Structure 1
Amino acid sequence: MLDIKLLQKNIEYVIEKLNSRNVDKAILNKLSQNINERNKLIQQLNKKQEERNQISSSIAKEKSAEIIAKASTIKNEVKELEKRVENYQIELDKLLPYIPNIPLDEVPVGNDEENNVEVERHENIGRGLVKNVQPHYEIGVKKGILDFERAVKMSGTRFVIFKNQGAELVRALENFMLDTHKKNGYEEILPPVLVKSEILFGTGQLPKFQEDLFKIQDEDLWLIPTAEVPITNYFNNEIIDLSSCKKITSYTLCFRSEAGSSGKDTKGLIRSRQFNKVEIVKLVSKEDALKEFEQTVKDAENILILLKLPYRKLKLCTGDLGFSSAITYDLEVWIPSEMKFREISSISYFETFQARRAKIRYKDQNNKIQFAHTINGSGLAIDRTIAAILEQYQNEDGSITIPDVLVPYMKNITKI
């Protein structure tokens, strides 16, 4: 949620920044009109309240009929202005949940993913940019570690069954990623994957992105699209100690309806409706936020480096930012069968946008209560990591080499 004080003080700046995000002009016009009219009314109200206070002082000295009548008139005018300000506030409260975050100044301006900026490219990791391989969804079926056909029979399209060494690979990656993040100071939790509406509101998924979620019929419970939701909201409506950064990691199943993605990535593990993911989340003070954000990016990159998977890092443009994000880096792993890089992690810094919605606060060095700053990223998306491994580590004899760091987690086998 945007800071109302910022809106009141500099609505022109806010509108300019939001225009770069391709926000609906009608919504921005409505926001601008609301704030400007509300500001005018507040100025009038302040003047009338000053008049009321002056009249009250006069009445204390002289209770003439004229002064008392004037006091009554001003009192009614104050009430009327207060009611009008309240009505504008009610409309603003309805509008703000649909307004995205303001991009940081360093975010490149652009309309869509075509305008994202490549920051780094790491092509020479491991085997480099492998090509001419079988797609993961073909070799995985041949090796007996992926079963799409029976998953479709059970659940429909965009589902998969991991079996045999495929299931072991999921478990190996889960434990490897969690162990690595814990070594870097993250605390591990295992949260529920069903949460209430107010929890999804806290991180920005509701009300705007309801169609992307799965809801339990007749209950206020939703399946999480990412562990960011329960981890960030672990501190929902709390005042917490942020004298040092809170760093949390978690493995969960995640669920997305993939609304609007009809016909895209229907084969394989790239765009499933149920998937495995390890998440890393930080809650931090304003002073430490940017430093911790950059470190979070490195923590996610570290997993790719240890797995020896080629990748590149992108800075997302304003038009491709997620709703709640102020700045985002995407990490894209090399998928040989497609001969292109594919997103495997998005690491975002939200400033206080999520914390305002979730009411997560802390006391600063002056003992003043402030909203926390939040950061999150995939560390990593496991299904897409498996897709990359099955393709990047293919051998001419049809076997798949296990990345060195996963061998201890795979009962010391070196090939599938």
Structure 2
Amino acid sequence: WQWSSDEQFVLFNMYAVRVGDEVQLVALGDGKLPITFDSPDKYHHQIKCEVGGAAAVDAEVKLQYGGGRHERGYMYELPEGIEGYPKKLHPLSLRAAQHTALVVCPLPNKGRDWQQAVAGGVRIFGPAAEAGRGAFELTPDQHQVVPPPPRLPPRRGQPFSLVQCLCPIYNEGVAGFKKRDSRLLLEWLQYHRSLGVTHVHVYKHIYEDPTSERVLAHFQEQGFITVHDWRPKASEDITLHTYQRAKYLAMTDCYLRSRGAADFLVVGDLDELVYTGQKPLSGVLSWCYEQFKSSSLQKFAFSIASRTVLPFLSQQHQAMGSSLLFELMDTAETRCTAPFNCGKYHQGRQKYFLRTAEPELPLIIPWTHAVTRDYVYSDQVHVQVAEAAAHVRHYSGQWFKEGLPADRTVAAPLPA
């Protein structure tokens, strides 16, 4: 975590990323870059990169789309006290959900000697100081650069490797299962390993009870998970005071670490699980790959619907009794009855499998429900997976607190 000289942008990490036939240096951060919007959809900047003592070159800046408009998403600042956002705001600039950005630096000789180039020093800078803003400059440490990852082999018996990005976890009583957190974490990891997930990146925010620590240590020793320190004290409180505990930084970090390594990636929360019925995950991913190939690599995201399950603490669940929390996810709604659960992308609370193996694929900042908030672009690159083949089983503590009527539930047991 390194602040820019004007204290408006925080650099989280640097990555050497294969893009096409090059290796490029990618800076991931959050905050306000020195950008000028010419229209809601177009912007320009004068940010440059100096790497390894070579002459400065123009950087490429990638922002998250905001409802189809860069400016709307990047410049809008959320009011205090809204749901999902901390009441105490960061004292500087991290007030919006869509400030996550990438600064992409071309490297000399197409990055073939990227380690040598980076060892010679990196400087990312903008124009001279202007009224109301100081000069923008970052000088990251060369040891901060994450190298291009090696290929990740699939689990035994699986044709594809799948990385799961677990958004920041925290046991602050969210969703009503604070006392069951360690059980939920254990079952979530074991379930997805049994499903065929190859590796999980875990972003641990505030999750420090002894049992949960033992659970994480167990799976880490087995090489199934990588735990990232997402605690406030490790980030100068940035992860505490940024939208949903800096989830977009975490998601993008996971994506950049997996790009070129895994065949597919999926992002989720601890209250969600990927459900494929009694069929193997490999069948769904094989279908996604066929869609990807037949589209000449143009369709690289595969949307999966969301199905809400009964709250763990509802009267129905308390009456059922269970030795496993996940057995309580065996009953789901028969049709979409909850708000924001019946449409596509955000309106359907959808998630998606993302193809990540090929360096020719565009470099993105992944969004929660699609590759971007721009539905027009998402429609061009997404394919809908049949709900019977796969969906997200989503726990929802704020809906159906007293349970669901019998005519709205169906038995849909998880694989044994």
Q: Same fold (TM over 0.5)?
A: no
Larger radius of gyration: 1
Comparing both structures, which one devotes a greater share of its residues to strand?
Answer: 2
TM-score (norm 2): 0.30
* TM-score relative to the length of structure 1: 0.30
Higher helix share: 1
